[in-house]
Amino acid sequence: MFGQLDILPPDPILGLNQTFQQDDNADKINLSIGVYQNAQGLTPIFTAVKKAEQQLLAAQNTKSYAPQAGDPSFLEHMTRLLLGDELSEQLQDRVAAVMTPGGCGALRMGAELLSHAKQNVTLWVSDPTWANHYPLLQSAGLTLEKYSYYSAETHSVDFTAMLESLQAIPVGDVVLLHGCCHNPTGADISPAQWDQVISVLAERQLTPFIDVAYQGFGDGLAEDAYGVREAVKRLPEVLVAASCSKNFGLYRERIGAVMVITQDPQTTLAAKSHILTAARSSYSMSPYHGGGIVGLLLSDPELTSEWKTELEQVRLRMNRLRLELAEGLNQAQSRIDFSFVAESKGMFCYLGIPLEVVHALRSEFGIYLLDSTRINVAGLSQENLPIIIDRVSEVLSR
């Protein structure tokens, strides 16, 4: 049966991370995979998350199945976290959420819903986008096309090109937008630019599918939800895929939510039933543990406040690091003006250095970034910053 199978290449990000783990260079530095690391290079459990988990386990008296859509407290509080209290209350039954295995599960279930709703859906993704969007969304039967987004010359969003590109999308198609902290470039659109994008979506009757994997990592929890909230206020239908991997640090628990907002409760209920049917056709229902933790945490004001403080520290630490990297590189060399690094949002940023430099950093110094030049800002530390600045500048000036 399986003798004919070829060995497929690994996911480029997970594969590079594995190569890093196997590298025996004692001075190696991992800027590849998007996992938060603290000053000690560790990925600790948020204290508030640990407390919520302990409470959950102490109170739990069954491991029987949870409701198929997921933990009700999780669903309610995730909706409030994304949409804000006011909007969530206004929408009532026009919004439905389903717990999913990570943001990936949410993306896949959102894609399944789209292909149940319409034949031959074309989904437009930013150029570039997270590499995993392709397999996740195409395998639900969607056709992916690209809209203009990032300019390698200016190291920022080419907003004119983006708008033009969106204006040319056929009426009725779907547009995937990164809610905040664009992966891989770290280049986000401003609130005023969101307003313009949403106007184009309204004019062209395009449905947004918004991927929110880093809420709280950019400008703050509410600020990072600006695009989602405005889209929900101004457009008839919005689809959202949220992940709890980064902002709750629950990566391996695989927890996220897919959310659908329509104009009437009946349509929302129908959409939700299609998501549940799609889930039942693959994994039946999401793992519960992570959702139980988040549901408990967000329903407890003290734990919520503790978690927000911790999340804010994470955000501010990444901001400091990106600033120090930009300033350090600018002082150490003059070939590239790295000021744009300081402007990037969230966990990632393109360095915009030649591919040979990326490869030399990896093979000569054990400094791992993706071929696209994406770095994980959280992989920087006070210890490794001077080394990275020195090595990048040295290779750049050869």
In single-letter form, the type of residue at position 187 comes to: A
Per the annotation, the verdict on 28 as an active-site residue is: no
Residue with Cβ nearer ligand TYF (14 or 39): 14
Residue with Cβ nearer ligand TYF (13 or 377): 13
What does 103 interact with, of ligand TYF, ligand PLP, none (CB < 5 to 8 A by kind)?
A: ligand PLP
Q: Which stretch binds ligand PLP (CB under 6 A): 11-19, 102-110, 196-204, 276-284?
A: 102-110
Residue with Cβ nearer ligand PLP (20 or 130): 130
Reference 211, options 293, 319, 132, 96; nearest CA is 132
Beta-bridge partners for 122:
143
Helix (H) / strand (E) containing 69: none
By Cβ distance, which residue is nearest to ligand TYF?
Answer: 34
CB 92 within 8 A of CB 191: no
Active-site hit among 213, 241, 242, 271: 213
Check binding of 377 to ligand PLP (CB under 6 A).
Answer: no
What does 14 interact with, of ligand TYF, ligand PLP, none (CB < 5 to 8 A by kind)?
A: ligand TYF
What does 33 interact with, of ligand TYF, ligand PLP, none (CB < 5 to 8 A by kind)?
A: ligand TYF
Distance of CA 210 to the CA centre of its chain: 10
Q: Is 27 exposed, middle or buried (0-12, 13-18, 19+ CB in 10 A)?
A: exposed
Active-site hit among 124, 130, 194, 307: 130
Binding-site string for ligand TYF from residue 8 to residue 27, where x marks contact by CB under 6 A and - marks none = ---x-xx-------------
Beta-bridge partners for 136:
none
Binding-site string for ligand PLP from residue 217 to residue 256, where x marks contact by CB under 6 A and - marks none = --------------------------x-x-----x----x
| CA–CA gap between residue 92 and residue 74 (Å, rounded) | 16
Structure token pair of residue 46: 């948020």
Reference 103, options 228, 254, 223; nearest CA is 254
Binding-site string for ligand PLP from residue 169 to residue 208, where x marks contact by CB under 6 A and - marks none = --------------x-------------------------
Per the annotation, the verdict on 211 as an active-site residue is: yes
Residue with Cβ nearer ligand PLP (129 or 165): 129
Q: How far is the CB of 241 from ligand PLP (least distance, A)?
A: 7
Positive or negative torsion for Cα 325, 328, 334, 339: positive
Reference 99, options 305, 284, 261; nearest CA is 284
Q: How far is the CB of 242 from ligand TYF (least distance, A)?
A: 14
Got the DSSP string for 359-398?
Answer: HHHHHHH-EE--TT-EEEGGG--TTTHHHHHHHHHHHHT-
Cα torsion 184, 218, 294, 88 to 10°: value is: -110
Per the annotation, the verdict on 124 as an active-site residue is: no
Q: How far is the CB of 106 from ligand PLP (least distance, A)?
A: 8
Structure token pair of residue 394: 């040295």
**CB neighbours of 255 closer than 8 A, spacing ≥ 6?**
99, 100, 101, 102, 243, 244, 245, 248, 286, 287, 289, 290, 291, 293, 294
What does 13 interact with, of ligand PLP, ligand TYF, none (CB < 5 to 8 A by kind)?
A: ligand TYF
Site for ligand PLP, residues 106 to 165, rule: CB under 6 A: 130
Site for ligand TYF, residues 289 to 308, rule: CB under 6 A: none
Check binding of 132 to ligand TYF (CB under 6 A).
Answer: yes
Give the CB-side neighbour count of residue 3, counting CA atoms within 13 A: 1
Q: How far is the CB of 130 from ligand TYF (least distance, A)?
A: 6
In single-letter form, the type of residue at position 33 comes to: I
Q: How far is the CB of 104 from ligand TYF (least distance, A)?
A: 7
Per the annotation, the verdict on 6 as an active-site residue is: no
Contact residues: ligand PLP, CB under 6 A: 34, 102-104, 130, 183, 211, 213, 243, 245, 251, 256
Contact residues: ligand TYF, CB under 6 A: 11, 13-14, 33-34, 130, 132, 183
The residues carrying an active-site annotation are 130, 211, 213, 246
